[in-house]
Amino acid sequence: MPSPNGVVALCDANNFYASCACLYNPEIREKPVVVGGDEGARHGIVLSKNYHAKRFGIQTAETLNEARRKCRDLVVVRADFDLYLRFAKKLWAIYHDYTPLVEPYGIDECYLDLTGSTRLFGGGKEIGDDIRRRVREELGITVTVGVSFNKVFAKLASDLIKPDATVLITKENYKETAWPLPASRMIFVGSETYRKLLAMDIYTIGDLAKADEERLKLRFGKNGLLLKIYANGYDMSPVDPGAVPVNGVSHSNTLPYDATTPEEVRSAIYMLSEGVAIRLRSQGLKCNGVQIYIRDNEMASVIRQGQLQYPTYLAGEIAAKGFEVFTEKYRFVKPIRTIGVKAISLQDQFKMYQLDLFGDHTHRERLERAEQAMDDIRARFGKNAVMKAGNLGSKDLTGHLGHNSETNPLIELYDIHT
C-alpha cells in the first residue's frame, strides 16, 4: 500500500510524436505539424499534433483531409515508431534516476512514486522541475509533471497546464483546485460516462464527490462508487512497475477497401487477432475478454465486447470470440471502413484459473505450444515467415493488417493518449 503521505508524479511528454518529429526537422518546428498515417493505404488520420496545429483546432484521430481544411499550410509527417520508442526509453532512464518505482501509463506517460525520493532530491515540485530541466536539456523535448498525493490527482494535475510545467494538487488545495473542474477532466470519466453524469445533474468533480452513493451505484454499479472515492481524494492504488496495462492489448486498422460482407469482416478480425495474440505472448499475458471496434464508411463507430470461457493468448480463440461479438451485437447496415480487436481483462499468463471438468485442455496446451513455436520462427526469420493457412484466403488483407498497423505494439499495449 502507498503511504497516506505519499508523493506521486505523472510525467507526460508534451505532444510526444510531433515533438520528436520536429526535433529531427528543425525547419518545421515553427509550423503547424501533425504526425499522420499513410493516406495511400487509407490510414489518413492525425496521430499527434504540435501546439501550432492545435491553434487551428486540429484534433487527434480526425482525418488528414479535415485537418487540411482547417489549416492549408499544415505539414504532415509520417509516423516513426522506432524513434518514439527510443525517446521513450531515454525518458524512462531519466525517471529511474529519481526512483525505481516507475509505472508506464503509456509510451509518453509514466507514474513515479517519489515518496522516498524526497529525502534525497527535495520536495515533489523540486523533483518535477529537475526532471523537466533534464528532459529539455538532454532530449530536446518537454514534459509536464503533475504532482499529488495519489495517482488520480497526479494525472489530473498533469493535464491542467501545458506544456513544460510542474503542477501540484495537495491535500490542502485539492477541493479548491480539482472540485470546480468539469467531471469529464477526471481520469476514467469518458464521454459516455460524462453524458450520463450530466443527466444526473453532476457537472463537476465536486458534484461527483458529494453525489449520493445509491444513485451512483444504481447508474454505474461499483464503478460509480469508485468515481466518488477518486473525486474525494481517497485513491490509494500504488505505483506498480510491474502493473499489467489497464486498457488491454489492441490492434486496429483501416481496411484497404470497405467491408460489405460478414466474411470480409471475419477475415479482418482473424488477421488482427493474430497480432494481438503475438503481443500478449510477448508480454507474458492472457486475456479474459475480447472487444471489437467498428467504424463504418460514414465515420460512425461502435465498441462491443464479450467474455471468454478461459483466459487465453491463442489467436483462434480471440478471433472466434471477436467475430461472435460482431455477429451477435453489431447491426451490419453500412460498409465498414475500420476494424479493431482488443484483448481486455488481462492477467499474468501463469495465473491459476478454474478448469472445466469436460474441456479438452490437452488440445489447448498443444495449440499454445504451436503458437509459441510460430513466435520463435518469426523471431528468427521475420514477422511474415509463417502464418496460418486460414489467413491466406484473403489476399488483399494479408500483409496489410497482419503487421502493418499505424500503431506500434508497445504503443497499443498501453493505449496511448498522445
Of residues 95, 175, 108, the one with CA closest to residue 134: 95
Residue 51, C-beta contacts closer than 8 angstroms, at least 6 positions apart? 15, 163
359 & 292 share domain: yes
Q: What is the pLDDT of residue 246?
A: 57
276 & 372 share domain: yes
Helices and strands in the chain: count of H runs, count of E runs: 16, 12
Which residue carries 524526497 as its cell? 118
With respect to residue 173, please indicate whether it lies within any of the assigned structural domains: no
The C-alpha cell that represents 6 in the structure block? 505519499
278 & 401 share domain: yes
Q: List C-alpha distances in Å: 255 to 49, 336, 343, 390, 398.
A: 24, 8, 20, 18, 11
Q: What is the pLDDT of residue 415?
A: 33
257 & 399 share domain: yes
CATH number of the domain at 378, please.
3.30.1490.100
Of residues 149, 140, 151, 137, the one with CA closest to residue 11: 151
With respect to residue 150, please indicate whether it lies within any of the assigned structural domains: no
CB 46 within 8 A of CB 3: no
Q: What one-character DSSP code corresponds to residue 150?
A: S
Phi-psi region of 346 (alpha: psi -120 to 50; beta: other; left: phi over 0): beta
Buried b (16+ CB within 10 A) or exposed e, 317-338: bbbbbbbebbeeebeeeeebbb
280 & 367 share domain: yes
65 & 188 share domain: no
With respect to residue 166, please indicate whether it lies within any of the assigned structural domains: no
Which one of the listed residues 109, 264, 406, 412 is annotated catalytic? 109
How many domains, the chain? 3
The C-alpha cell that represents 312 in the structure block? 487465453
Q: What is the pLDDT of residue 275?
A: 86
Angle at 323 between CA 317 and CA 325, to 5 degrees: 100
260 & 371 share domain: yes
With respect to residue 385, please indicate whether it lies within any of the assigned structural domains: yes
CA distance 198 to 219: 12
The C-alpha cell that represents 48 in the structure block? 499527434
With respect to residue 96, please indicate whether it lies within any of the assigned structural domains: no
Note down the domain range covering 26.
Answer: 17-81
With respect to residue 372, please indicate whether it lies within any of the assigned structural domains: yes
Q: What one-character DSSP code corresponds to residue 140?
A: S
205 & 353 share domain: no
109 is known as an active-site residue: yes
402 & 254 share domain: yes
CA distance 314 to 318: 6
Q: What is the pTM of this model?
A: 0.70
CA distance 51 to 164: 12
Q: List C-alpha distances in Å: 249 to 25, 26, 94, 364, 372.
A: 32, 34, 26, 21, 18
Q: What is the pLDDT of residue 355?
A: 61
The C-alpha cell that represents 191 in the structure block? 464521454
DSSP string, 389-401: GGGGS-TTTTTTT
Q: What is the pLDDT of residue 348?
A: 81
With respect to residue 273, please indicate whether it lies within any of the assigned structural domains: yes
Residue-wise pLDDT tens for the chain (418 aa)? 444 569 999 999 999 999 999 999 999 999 999 998 766 555 578 889 999 999 999 988 788 888 999 999 999 998 888 898 899 999 999 999 999 999 988 789 999 999 999 999 999 999 999 999 999 999 999 999 999 999 999 999 999 999 999 999 999 999 999 999 999 999 889 888 999 999 999 999 999 999 999 999 999 988 899 999 999 999 889 998 876 655 678 888 888 888 999 999 999 999 899 889 988 888 788 999 999 999 888 878 899 999 998 899 999 999 999 999 999 988 888 999 889 999 998 888 877 666 665 666 677 778 778 787 777 776 777 666 666 655 555 545 544 444 433 333 333 333 332 2
189 & 255 share domain: no
Phi-psi region of 221 (alpha: psi -120 to 50; beta: other; left: phi over 0): left
With respect to residue 139, please indicate whether it lies within any of the assigned structural domains: no
CA distance 337 to 44: 12
276 & 392 share domain: yes
Q: Taking the alpha carbons of 61, 66, 70, 76 in that order, is the dihedral positive or negative?
A: positive
CATH number of the domain at 51, please.
3.40.1170.60
Domain boundary among 165, 198, 231: 231
Tell me the three state secondary structure of residue 145. strand
328 & 384 share domain: yes
Q: What is the pLDDT of residue 361?
A: 66
Residue type, position 175, single letter = K
Q: Which helix (H) or strand (E) element contains residue 368?
A: helix 361-381
Residue 303, C-beta contacts closer than 8 angstroms, at least 6 positions apart? 291, 292, 293, 294
